[in-house]
Amino acid sequence: MPENLCPICQRPNDANAERCWYCQAVLSHENEAENNGNTDWLNSFREDSAQSVEPFPVESTPEESEEKQEEIPDWLARIRTREQLEREASKDEKPKAEPEEPKEDLPDWLKEIKAGNSGKQSETVFQEESQTTSENTVSEEVFEKTELPSSTQKEQDDTEEWLSHLAAWRPVDNLPSASDSLNPFLDEKNSNQPDNLSDQSVHLTSLTGSDDTNKQPVELKSSEGWQIIPEESVTEPESSNQDGPAEPDQTNSSVEIEKPHEVMPPGPDEIAFDVDSLREEFGSQESFSTIENQEPEPGTSPFKEETQPPDSGTDNSLLEPAALTDSFSTTSESTPAFLENLPGAEPFLQDDLPEWLASATINKIDQKPAEEISQELDSKILDANIDEANLPDWLQAIRPISEKGLPEAESEPETSQIIEEVGLLAGISGTLQSSQVSGEFRKPVGYGSALKVSERQKSNANLLASLVKDNLDDEDVEIPKNQKIKHTLFRLALAAALILIILFGNSIMSGLTVVPKLFPPEVVAVYDKVNALPTDKPVLLTGDFEPAVTGELSWSSQTLIEHMMRRNLNFAVLSVNPGGDVILLQQLETISQKVPGYDLSTHVIDLGYLPGGSTGLQLLTKDIRSAVPNKYDVYDVHAAWNSPILQSVHSLNDFGAVIINSDKPESARVWVEQIQPAMDATPLLFVISAQAAPLLEPYYQSGQISGYIGGFSGSLAYEAIFQQSSNSTNHLGAFQASLLFIAALVFMGGLINLIRPSAIEHKGHH
């Protein structure tokens, strides 16, 4: 079984293993590397990078790379320039940088890099790799190949994160796979540096030790000297760097680092690292790193900073450490990391330091927590130092909230200019106006997740709430107890007066009763229709009313039913309310006592209750025998349509008339709409409550109904036409007296309210 040696701990592992069983280091696979030119993890990074920067391809032709080179940020340009100078100055002093292996031993992918075809390397893993390389040997050529991409802000963030991880460097002994640390820094920029590539090949070879573990890179030893850096110098930045975007393998990398570090102490040949000098050098960029690790200040737009392309030229203040150092000097102490002009104090040879590190700075983070630091920052200074971002068009278009596009808040009138004109505060400006306050504040209404409420419905609900607001507010007004008693007594007195007037109205108004001389035409039409009904056809008497109006409807229909009984007409009683037919039967029984010789058992059939409302009525018009198939006797239910009364009835048109007792305009309307179209010449008559009579008048005027008796007045007119005194005529005095009393009461109440101050003024004074 083939084994794969770990490049870190040199222990054999399974050939299929992705990571070392002992130290969890990433194992390299030569075959795949040969086939693909890279490792699996690099492919995955490449895919991620391709997805993330798909609209903005990182790959570029050499011509494009040259253009992008013009867009390199200043700080990176300085780093490169410095690195070039250092390289030239120290070229002769670094014999150990010579390659130990011939170039022919390089893997294919590395050859491609040398040939300048490494532009496909993803830079999204820059952050992670910078961390791993900083913890191990990092060839300066590797970082020479790296540069901040100028196309996307994400890459810029990676660079910033990379610097942060550099500050969070912790010495370890184990070395990750050199390919891990190398590949992320291969980008298209390499093709633009063919001169350096020849020199870099040696060091690149040293970094590809994973291909052959026996071939330890030459610089590996020199880089081991980084491991002696005491932990206290880097612990703080490491924690602060947690704010940055976490790469997928970042956690794993930290695990890889710390385990070997505990097992393998620094060797005696490790090069001492002057932390203080590094601290001094890195301190120059402290503020830059601090800003990265800080929470965004309220009022500032972190989105603007993040999305600002590095090539805009206006965001250099973010990348220029010097621009912010002064502003944030109070938060940290800056020290240069590497002092080139002090050779005695320089802990590394020039070759030992990668070029990026030689020119880079590191932060010395204060012991203050990040939140505390962010509170100390002056947001105004921060805003002043941060130039406005020049967002690309595509980003500006998809930006959810455009600060420039936001409509400016409506400038409310200057309250200081408002001068109170009346009241105790008259003449004082800046008073809070009640008109500004009223209606502005409402308790938020939660509609829940199950109820889907549209904006229009919400506005309607708010409108309704505002309409009833005054009434609801009145409930909050605490009424004094004596006033409550007074109101109660007044109500009782009013009820007693009404009852007395109704009881004794006839005697009081005996000589003052005014009998109507004119009869409403709808009542006259009913009388005429009843007189014209054929005696061989039954009358369908239906009830669609609540028991509460039984008193009114019984009086209104009494004379009409008596009129029909006197004509010896048959009745079929039907109700669309459960108890309506029972009430009607009782009424028929009562009235029949006034008509001698009229036998209910032979003239009346109870069809019972028709359920379904308007649907039942619709069925009644289509197939009445199916709709109400049974009749109800005292002890049994029989087939209704076998009785002699209904034998000739097959539809509503076979009835002599359809009379509906109703108390609601809605139900009357349903009857007209559902029944009337199915009736040809059969009269449709109504006995209706006075409250619904006005809405029936249009149907009468249009001819959809033949006539109706509306309330007490209608029955009174019918009695007058029928020339038979009944309940309505007998109680006319009480009726008129109670109506006049109520009219007088309303008039008096209105006058009093007109004279008295309004309720609003009354409430305002209180």
Partner 1 sequence: MKSPLSLIVAIVSGLIVLLGYFFPSPAIHAIRTPMLDWAVTLAGVASFAAILHLIFGVHIKRLREAGSKKTFSIVVIVVFLAVAISGLYFGPDQAEFQKVVTAVQVPIETSLMALLAITLSYSSLNLLKRQRNWMGLVFFLSVILYLVINSGVLAFSADIPALQNLLSGFHQLPTAGARGILLGIALGSLATGIRILTGSDRPYSG
Interacting residue ranges for partner 1, rule: CB under 8 A: 470, 490-491, 494-495, 498, 514-518, 546-551, 579, 582-583, 585-586, 606, 610-613, 615-616, 618-619, 622-623, 626-627, 632-635, 637, 669, 677, 690, 694-698, 701, 713, 716, 732, 735-736, 739-740, 742-743, 745-750, 752-754, 758-759
List all residues 6 or more positions away from 653 whose beta carbon is below 8 Å from its beta carbon: 678, 679, 680, 681, 682
Q: Which is nearer to partner 1, 439 or 612 (CB)?
A: 612
Q: In the numeric block, which tokens belong to residue 640?
A: 């209704």
Which among 544, 749, 754 has a CA at the least distance from the CA of 658? 544
The answer to whether residues 731 and 708 touch, using CB atoms and an 8 Å cutoff, is no
Angle between helices 455-467 and 469-476 (to 10 degrees): 50
| Closest separation in Å from C-beta 596 to partner 1 | 22
Q: Which is nearer to partner 1, 541 or 610 (CB)?
A: 610
d(CA 330, CA 357): 25
| Closest separation in Å from C-beta 466 to partner 1 | 15
Q: In the numeric block, which tokens belong to residue 161?
A: 């994160």
Q: Which is nearer to partner 1, 248 or 749 (CB)?
A: 749
Strand intervals (E) in 635-752: 637-639, 657-662, 684-688, 707-710
Q: Which is nearer to partner 1, 331 or 556 (CB)?
A: 556
| Closest separation in Å from C-beta 693 to partner 1 | 8
Q: Which is nearer to partner 1, 334 or 726 (CB)?
A: 726
Q: Which is nearer to partner 1, 1 or 514 (CB)?
A: 514
Q: Which is nearer to partner 1, 514 or 681 (CB)?
A: 514
d(CA 363, CA 168): 9
Largest CA distance in the chain: 142
**Rounded to 5 degrees, what are φ and ψ at 224?**
-65, -20
| Closest separation in Å from C-beta 148 to partner 1 | 51
| Closest separation in Å from C-beta 742 to partner 1 | 5
The answer for 711, left when phi > 0, alpha when psi is -120 to 50, beta otherwise, is left
Q: Which is nearer to partner 1, 286 or 552 (CB)?
A: 552
Distance of CA 591 to the CA centre of its chain: 66
| Closest separation in Å from C-beta 695 to partner 1 | 4
Q: Which is nearer to partner 1, 108 or 761 (CB)?
A: 761
| Closest separation in Å from C-beta 578 to partner 1 | 9
d(CA 683, CA 23): 101
d(CA 217, CA 163): 25
**What does R_g of the chain's alpha carbons equal in angstroms?**
49
Query: Tokens 């007037």, residue?
Result: 501
| Closest separation in Å from C-beta 75 to partner 1 | 57
| Closest separation in Å from C-beta 601 to partner 1 | 12
Over the range 51-80, which residues count as b (16 or more CB within 10 Å of their CB) and which as e? eebeeeebebeeeebeebeeebbebbeebb
What's the one-letter identity of residue 602?
Answer: T
Query: Tokens 């601090």, residue?
Result: 290
| Closest separation in Å from C-beta 673 to partner 1 | 9
| Closest separation in Å from C-beta 489 to partner 1 | 12
Secondary structure in 3-state letters for 415-435: HHHCECCCCCCCCCECCCCHH
Q: Which is nearer to partner 1, 445 or 743 (CB)?
A: 743
Q: Which is nearer to partner 1, 479 or 746 (CB)?
A: 746
The answer to whether residues 373 and 294 touch, using CB atoms and an 8 Å cutoff, is yes
Q: In the numeric block, which tokens belong to residue 204?
A: 């690149």
d(CA 304, CA 387): 10
| Closest separation in Å from C-beta 481 to partner 1 | 20
Partnered with residue 709 across adjacent β-strands are 687
Q: Which is nearer to partner 1, 69 or 736 (CB)?
A: 736
Give the strand pairing for 571-575 and 539-544.
parallel
| Closest separation in Å from C-beta 758 to partner 1 | 5
| Closest separation in Å from C-beta 319 to partner 1 | 53
**Rounded to 5 degrees, what are φ and ψ at 361?**
-125, 160
| Closest separation in Å from C-beta 635 to partner 1 | 7
What's the one-letter identity of residue 163?
Answer: L
| Closest separation in Å from C-beta 491 to partner 1 | 6
Q: Which is nearer to partner 1, 313 or 757 (CB)?
A: 757
N-terminal to C-terminal alpha carbon distance within the chain: 97
Angle between helices 614-622 and 665-674 (to 10 degrees): 30
Q: Which is nearer to partner 1, 415 or 753 (CB)?
A: 753
The answer to whether residues 320 and 109 touch, using CB atoms and an 8 Å cutoff, is no
The answer to whether residues 355 and 143 touch, using CB atoms and an 8 Å cutoff, is yes
Q: Which is nearer to partner 1, 403 or 761 (CB)?
A: 761
d(CA 377, CA 287): 11
d(CA 556, CA 570): 20
Q: Which is nearer to partner 1, 340 or 697 (CB)?
A: 697
